[in-house]
Amino acid sequence: MKNKIAQLTEIIFSSNNIVFFGGAGVSTESNIPDFRSANGVFNIDLNRHFTPEQLISHTMYKKYPKEFYSFYKEHLIYKDAKPNYAHKFLVELEKKEKLKAIITQNIDTLHELAGSNNVIKLHGSVDSNSCVECKEFYNLDEFLSLLGDVPKCTRCGGIVKPNVTLYEEALYDDVFERAIHYIRNADTLIVGGTSLIVYPAASLIRYFRGNNLVLINNTKTAYDHLATLVINDKLGEVFKKIKI
């Protein structure tokens, strides 16, 4: 492991255009569960005929909005979560003008709370919600203050929908293109806390043309054979060993 930490340290110091691409493992150290692990969202015992994956789909939102919003508020929003060491390390990399962008699959706001500026959120954000009728915007606190099982707009009475990408919904084209731009122009791509099995987000790695592809994850990924460096460990624990 020491040799890998030394190699990662050298890669970071020799790079001037780093992009970080992160998944659920970035936030698990802030006590936000991932989706697919043993204790993840998809393994919650609901005692009902809907699976967690079904409950965060566009079909569920349209046909069973009460159940959708109940599950969304209970299992996808973590207001008390705080940035962990990984979030703070990335802020320092940005301050040193080495890190140019963070691309995240997460919908929490921990990168922003830590102080990162250029955060590209592939799947949207819990802090962004809009009325489907009049497009009135609601931040997270405003959204949670709306009364009723299905949140309604105080301006027109329309349903207020989280601006997050549900299952069966496509990613925003402009956001995806922006992510491609940064990855294509990076000299180093650090991928952390993601198993790279959720598409189309995982396909972004194919646009990288730089020198160093670093994969940091608890488990192996299907892209390990393409990497300059693979470290199987928690992201925060790895970053704690890097002196910048």
pLDDT digits (tens, 9 = 90+) for 214-235: 999 999 999 999 999 999 999 9
| Domain count within the chain | 2
* Phi and psi torsions of 102, nearest 5°: -115, 125
- C-alpha–C-alpha distance, residues 129 and 162, integer Å: 4
Tell how strand 124-131 and strand 119-121 pair up.
unpaired
Please give the residue range of the domain that contains residue 71: 41-75
Residues 1/237, Cβ–Cβ less than 8 Å: no
Is 128 part of any domain?
A: no
pLDDT digits (tens, 9 = 90+) for 95-130: 999 999 999 999 999 999 999 999 999 999 999 999
> What is the set of active-site residues?
123
Judgement on whether residues 64 and 178 belong to the same structural domain of the protein: no
Is 101 part of any domain?
A: yes
> Which of 25-34, 49-58, 68-77, 123-132 has the highest mean predicted lDDT (pLDDT)?
123-132
Is 153 part of any domain?
A: no
Judgement on whether residues 71 and 176 belong to the same structural domain of the protein: no
pTM: 0.92
Judgement on whether residues 191 and 222 belong to the same structural domain of the protein: yes
Would you say residue 1 has pLDDT above 80? Answer: no
Place of tokens 């122009």: 185
- C-alpha–C-alpha distance, residues 117 and 13, integer Å: 21
* Phi and psi torsions of 213, nearest 5°: -110, 115
pLDDT digits (tens, 9 = 90+) for 149-203: 999 999 999 999 999 999 999 999 999 999 999 999 999 999 999 999 888 888 9
Would you say residue 49 has pLDDT above 90? Answer: no
SS3 of 79, please? Answer: coil
